[in-house]
Amino acid sequence: MHSFTEENYLKAIYHLSDANNTVVSTNSIAEVTNTKAASVTDMLKKLADKKLINYIKYQGVTLSNTGIQAAVNIVRKHRLWEVFLVEKLGFKWDEVHDIAEELEHINSASLIDRLDDFLGNPAADPHGDPIPDRTGTFVHKKLVKVSDLKEGQTGTISGVNEHSSLFLKHLEKLGLTLGTKITISDIIEFDGSIMLIADKTKERTISREVAKNILVIL
């Protein structure tokens, strides 16, 4: 199996890449793993030796098929544990990320499959992110950033692009949680702030930065 550290790199590359498995740069990996570029280069050589990534010196990396499989499995574990923490243990959605960051490395297929069943095979985690099934397949709902909506458009909040406690608590305070229906009432020209109506009654104003990190289904 792969080490803790290797798994974190695989997951980082997976998240930095997109559905098209685009090339990821050394520096971007260093940033999300909180390491230096030189350390990343060493690890990339190792992951390439293990055939988990396609790596050409100075040209960046993509995950190999094996690498994608491994990464998706870690994501599956991360998200199932998050559901467990919120649904069964009563944690808030802004409290679970760091704990899941550790739990995702527990190594037992039967554990995670049983957990999946125990939770009722949930389709999404507490942040709205889809959970891959045991074969690694999952549907990605078509989500749009609130910052990309036009005046008058309506959508249902179904995901977030930012998982920090600070951001999630802010949403909570505004009442902009998953499932909330919103309508854009105004886009402020001065700084791009967005005014919206939540659940038909609550008027809210959010900065462009916040709007970029809220995802809706139209």
Partner DNA sequence: TTAAAAATTTAGATTAATCTAAATTTTTAA
How many residues of this chain bind a second copy (CB under 8 A)? 18
Q: Kindly tell me which of 52 and 103 has the beta carbon lying closer to a second copy.
A: 103
User: Would you list the DSSP string of 20-67?
Assistant: T---B-HHHHHHHHT--HHHHHHHHHHHHHTTSEEE-TTS-EEE-HHH
Give the C-alpha separation, 87 to 91, whole Å: 8
Minimum distance, C-beta of residue 110 to DNA, in the bound complex (Å)? 25
Under rule CB under 8 A, residue 90 binds a second copy? yes
Minimum distance, C-beta of residue 33 to Mn ion, in the bound complex (Å)? 10
Minimum distance, C-beta of residue 34 to a second copy, in the bound complex (Å)? 17
Q: Kindly tell me which of 47 and 146 has the beta carbon lying closer to DNA.
A: 47
Provide the 3-class DSSP secondary structure of residue 197: strand
Residue 107's binding partner among DNA, Mn ion, a second copy, none (Cβ under 5 to 8 angstroms by kind) is a second copy
Minimum distance, C-beta of residue 62 to DNA, in the bound complex (Å)? 13
Angle at 190 between CA 149 and CA 188, to 5 degrees: 35
Of positions 10, 12, 13, 43, contacts DNA by CB under 7 A:
43
Candidates 51-59, 83-91, 173-181, 199-207; binding stretch for a second copy (CB under 8 A): 83-91
Q: Which helix (H) or strand (E) holds 182?
A: strand 181-187
Q: How many residues does the chain have?
A: 218
Q: Are strands 214-217 and 144-145 parallel, antiparallel or unpaired?
A: antiparallel
Provide the 3-class DSSP secondary structure of residue 184: strand
Among residue numbers 91 through 120, which ones bind a second copy (CB under 8 A)?
91, 95, 98-99, 102-103, 106-108, 110-111, 114-115, 118
Per the listing, tokens 């802004």 go with 94
Tokens in use for 31? 């940033």
Minimum distance, C-beta of residue 104 to DNA, in the bound complex (Å)? 15
Contacting residues toward DNA, per CB under 7 A: 3-6, 25-28, 33-46, 55, 57-60
